């Protein structure tokens, strides 16, 4: 039989086989469902044989390879089923080595798992692959019988057996005492549980798929974790965001504690600002650096924004203020339930235009809410309220003086030097950014944070955030080789061709002027002191948005957080810097591009429906 790849089969057939593998359907049900995929003389039974594992194809290290020694070991397990047998493999040397415990899928210790153990032995590990079916006679040599036997073993006792095996390996005479764990499917879940149960006694954990532990248990994990997931296995991947957050948060809280230990307490009240010495000079430095960068990097008529530079898409949306908000949240825009049209720009960090895969880890959103009545703090627009946010909950710099130094190094393609500069390093800020920076997959599925505070009515400060509520496609076609240059935009197009997307706008009120500072934006505001509370929903309907004239319209827009009601005045030195910096750079950019600033209304028309002369002008 010719060996095939998963891509050779329809996804519906793969989903059906996945259900069979995990015990969701019987073999008979699989064969009945596979009938509709049986074409061109291929029977359902033949499809089953093509899909089922062929362990002979998986063998990379023969069992009799002279470079290794292997034997069967029985480990006592008084808290489990009594004892567990396993396959112990090591290099054919006498040196003490670190160990790896290898956990099988829900069929038992099959030939593939034994081969993985042998591969690890050739990599200079002592590998131990225990058989969770020991108490019912061991792996029976047949996967269906193995699954049937697996269902008869008490899962708590089986895990106790695996834990006993891991502890035995760690104490084994030939082992250095440092061990890791790797597991597949069911075994991936066991690896996660071992990481919880063993704490610092486990040196590393590599789960391939597998159910994630609860947030409370995830906090107990001390081992480095390298989790592998299959994009279309939504049964498992749906649990990753919560697991990721649970793993990340203890580190973030520790870093925040260190940051606060190095700060001095100031006699300030809630929502109270303090002028920073050298603030004006730092702002001027930033403006000068960014203006020089624009002149050097972009041709006249093609200037982009100096920050949040690459536009992934400009889309239409609607912000709906929730009814029944408590008095403390019913301020400014949120005082009255209403729906407002929006223009929404999704962008990458910049300051250069690069292929998405080269500029990953950071994304931003700019929301221009239109038709907002009332006086505004910045009078070049009369009816808008702007919200800007990025994908990290803390700002990349603590204050405007540090930001000026970062701009200096960023324009020279050396932003990392800002963080590691021995004269004034920002290592803790680097760690905080790294905790949330990750390969971007789809801007419509990302969480965005304001990072800097704003008023929420007189005497009350807040930070806001946008939380995705809709599952969106997150594949990156072409990885690990050459993804499309604009794959983020492509994923946005793919998403909005299929469905509406909804975000939740949440606010976090300041309740402690020291632990939730106004002037230091690198400090994470603790949600334990003040949770993030929904105040509005934000819907992006199905639409076509990748028209050239709609894309060009972004150059006529100015997103500025000072386009706001007085009740939402931006707070802190970096917000004060934005007031002047965003305005001057927007004017400069639009002058160099020869385009006029436009305050939008939401009634703009683009694409085939646009008046031809207007569409041509924008596209040009």
What are the pLDDT digits (tens) for 73-90?
Answer: 999 999 999 999 999 999
Longest dimension (CA), the chain: 82
Give me 166's structure tokens.
């891991």
Burial of residue 187 (number of CB atoms within 10 Å: 0-12, 13-18, 19+): buried
Q: How many degrees, rounded to 5, is the angle at CA 65 between CA 62 and CA 71? A: 90
Is the model more confident about 219 or about 493? 493
Angle between helix axes 573-593 and 400-410 (nearest 10 degrees) is 40
Q: Does 294 lie in the same domain as 220? A: no
Q: Does 65 lie in the same domain as 37? A: no
Q: Does 325 lie in the same domain as 240? A: no
For β-strands 204-208 and 339-347, DSSP reports them as: unpaired
Region for residue 607 given its phi and psi (left: phi exceeds 0; alpha: psi -120 to 50; beta: otherwise): left
Task: Judge whether 73 and 143 are in contact, CB under 8 Å.
Answer: no
Q: Does 285 lie in the same domain as 179? A: no
SS3 content of the chain, % helix, strand, coil (to 5): 40, 20, 45
User: Percentage of the chain surpassing pLDDT 90?
Assistant: 77
Q: What is the CATH number of the domain that holds 201?
A: 3.40.50.1820
Q: How many CB atoms lie within 10 A of CB 417?
A: 16
pLDDT at position 615 is 47
Q: For 399-411, what is the mean pLDDT?
A: 87
Q: Is residue 164 part of a domain?
A: yes
pLDDT at position 2 is 76
Task: Judge whether 133 and 154 are in contact, CB under 8 Å.
Answer: no
Q: Rounded to 5 degrees, what are φ and ψ at 90?
A: -150, 165
Q: Is residue 1 part of a domain?
A: no
SS (H, E, C) 107-172: CCCCHHHHHHHHHHHHCCCEEEEECCCHHHCCCCCCHHHHHHHHCCCCHHHHHHHHHHHHHHHHHC
Q: Which uninterrupted H or E stretch holds 258?
A: helix 240-261
Give me 248's structure tokens.
């990340």
Q: Does 327 lie in the same domain as 239? A: no
Reported as a single tens digit per residue, the pLDDT across 92-109 is 987 899 999 999 999 999
Give me 436's structure tokens.
């949330």
pLDDT at position 1 is 64
Number of domains in the chain: 3
Reported as a single tens digit per residue, the pLDDT across 146-173 is 999 999 999 999 999 999 999 999 999 9
Task: Judge whether 13 and 39 are in contact, CB under 8 Å.
Answer: no
Q: Which of 51-55, 398-402, 578-582 has the lowest mean pLDDT?
A: 51-55
Reported as a single tens digit per residue, the pLDDT across 459-476 is 999 999 999 999 998 888
Where residue 186 falls among pLDDT bands split at 50, 70, 90? very high
Q: Does 35 lie in the same domain as 149? A: no
Q: Does 425 lie in the same domain as 543? A: yes
pLDDT at position 475 is 86
Sheet with 126-130, strands from edge to edge, namely 68-77, 82-91, 126-130, 97-103, 175-184, 204-208
Where residue 620 falls among pLDDT bands split at 50, 70, 90? low
Give me 301's structure tokens.
């008529």
Angle between helix axes 240-261 and 427-436 (nearest 10 degrees) is 170
Q: Does 153 lie in the same domain as 43? A: no
Task: Judge whether 538 and 505 are in contact, CB under 8 Å.
Answer: yes
Is the model more confident about 134 or about 609? 134
Which residues are 536's β-sheet partners?
321, 505
List of residues 6+ apart from 158 with CB closer than 8 A: 80, 81, 132
pLDDT at position 614 is 55
Closest-CA residue to 99 (of 89, 109, 107, 111): 89
Q: Does 71 lie in the same domain as 47? A: no
Q: Which of 220-229, 268-277, 458-467, 471-480 has the lowest mean pLDDT?
A: 471-480
Q: Is residue 198 part of a domain?
A: yes
Q: Rounded to 5 degrees, what are φ and ψ at 291?
A: -65, -45
Q: Does 312 lie in the same domain as 439? A: yes
Q: Is residue 265 part of a domain?
A: no
Q: Does 441 lie in the same domain as 316? A: yes
Give residue 48's domain range.
6-52
For β-strands 204-208 and 175-184, DSSP reports them as: parallel
Reported as a single tens digit per residue, the pLDDT across 565-589 is 999 999 999 999 999 999 999 999 9
Q: Is the pLDDT of residue 617 over 70?
A: no
Q: Does 337 lie in the same domain as 203? A: no
Report the alpha-carbon distance of residue 311 to residue 320 in Å, rounded: 25
Q: Rounded to 5 degrees, what are φ and ψ at 611?
A: -55, 135
Reported as a single tens digit per residue, the pLDDT across 285-342 is 999 989 998 999 899 999 999 989 999 999 999 999 999 999 999 999 999 999 999 9
Report the alpha-carbon distance of residue 206 to residue 183 in Å, rounded: 7
Where residue 618 falls among pLDDT bands split at 50, 70, 90? low
Q: What is the CATH number of the domain that holds 524?
A: 2.40.180.10
List of residues 6+ apart from 445 with CB closer than 8 A: 468, 470, 471, 472, 474
Instruction: Output the CA–CA distances (angstroms, integers) from residue 409 to 119, 364, 580, in the order listed.
Output: 45, 21, 21
Q: Is residue 448 part of a domain?
A: yes
Name the one residue in this structure whose structure tokens are 């060996």: 3
Q: Is residue 411 part of a domain?
A: yes
Query: Cα 43 to chain center, whole Å?
Result: 42
Burial of residue 533 (number of CB atoms within 10 Å: 0-12, 13-18, 19+): middle
Give me 323's structure tokens.
């009814």
Report the alpha-carbon distance of residue 227 to residue 501 in Å, rounded: 28
Length in residues, the chain: 620
Q: Is the pLDDT of residue 278 over 80?
A: yes
Q: Is residue 104 part of a domain?
A: yes
């Amino acid at each position: 039989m010719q060996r095939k790849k998963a891509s050779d089969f329809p996804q519906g057939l793969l989903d059906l086989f996945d259900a069979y593998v995990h015990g969701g359907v019987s073999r008979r049900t699989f064969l009945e469902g596979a009938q509709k995929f049986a074409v061109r003389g291929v029977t359902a039974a033949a499809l089953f044989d093509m899909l089922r594992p062929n362990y002979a194809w998986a063998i990379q290290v023969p069992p009799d390879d002279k470079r290794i020694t292997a034997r069967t070991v029985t480990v006592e397990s008084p808290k489990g089923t009594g004892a567990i047998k396993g396959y112990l493999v090591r290099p054919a040397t006498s040196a003490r080595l670190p160990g790896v415990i290898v956990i099988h899928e829900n069929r038992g210790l099959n030939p593939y798992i034994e081969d993985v153990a042998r591969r690890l032995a050739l990599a200079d590990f002592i590998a131990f692959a225990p058989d969770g079916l020991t108490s019912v006679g061991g792996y029976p040599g047949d996967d269906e019988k193995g699954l049937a036997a697996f269902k008869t073993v008490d899962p708590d006792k089986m895990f106790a057996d695996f834990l006993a095996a891991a502890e035995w390996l760690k104490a084994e005479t030939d082992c250095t005492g440092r061990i890791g764990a790797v597991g597949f499917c069911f075994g991936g879940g066991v690896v996660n549980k071992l990481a919880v149960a063993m704490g610092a006694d486990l040196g590393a954990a590599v789960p391939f798929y597998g159910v994630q532990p609860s947030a409370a248990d995830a906090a107990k994990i001390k081992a480095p974790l390298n989790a592998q997931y299959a994009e279309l296995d939504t049964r498992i991947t749906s649990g990753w965001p919560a697991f990721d957050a649970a793993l990340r948060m203890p580190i973030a809280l520790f870093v925040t504690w260190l940051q606060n230990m190095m700060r001095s307490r100031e006699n300030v009240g809630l929502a109270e600002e303090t002028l920073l010495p050298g603030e004006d000079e730092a702002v001027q430095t930033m403006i000068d650096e960014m203006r020089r960068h624009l002149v050097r990097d972009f041709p006249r008529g093609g200037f982009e924004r100096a920050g949040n530079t690459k536009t992934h898409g400009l889309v239409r949306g609607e912000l709906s203020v929730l009814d029944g908000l408590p008095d403390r949240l019913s301020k400014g825009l949120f005082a009255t339930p209403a729906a407002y049209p929006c223009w929404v720009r999704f962008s990458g960090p910049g300051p250069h235009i690069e292929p998405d895969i080269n500029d990953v880890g950071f994304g931003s959103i700019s929301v221009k809410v239109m038709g907002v009545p009332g006086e505004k703090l910045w009078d070049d627009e009369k009816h808008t309220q702007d919200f800007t946010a990025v994908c990290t909950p803390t700002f990349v710099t603590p204050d405007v003086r540090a930001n000026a130094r970062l701009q200096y190094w960023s324009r020279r393609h050396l932003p990392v030097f800002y963080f590691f500069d021995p004269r004034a390093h920002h290592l803790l800020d680097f760690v905080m950014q790294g905790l949330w920076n990750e390969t971007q997959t789809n801007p419509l599925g990302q969480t965005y944070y304001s990072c800097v505070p704003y008023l929420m009515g007189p005497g009350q400060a807040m930070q806001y955030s946008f939380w995705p509520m809709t599952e969106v496609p997150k594949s990156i076609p072409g990885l690990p080789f050459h993804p499309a240059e604009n794959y983020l935009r492509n994923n946005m197009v793919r998403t909005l061709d299929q469905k509406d997307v909804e975000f939740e706008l949440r606010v976090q009120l300041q309740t402690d002027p020291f632990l939730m500072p106004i002037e230091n934006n690198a400090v994470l505001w603790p949600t334990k002191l003040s949770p993030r509370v929904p105040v509005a929903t934000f819907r992006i309907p199905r639409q076509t948005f990748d028209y050239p004239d709609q894309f060009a319209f972004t150059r006529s827009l100015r997103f500025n957080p000072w386009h706001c009601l007085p009740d939402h005045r931006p707070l802190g030195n970096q917000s004060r810097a934005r007031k002047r910096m965003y305005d001057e750079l927007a004017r400069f950019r639009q002058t160099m591009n020869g385009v006029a600033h436009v305050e939008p209304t939401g009634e703009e028309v683009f694409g085939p429906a646009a008046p031809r002369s207007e569409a041509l002008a924008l596209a040009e």
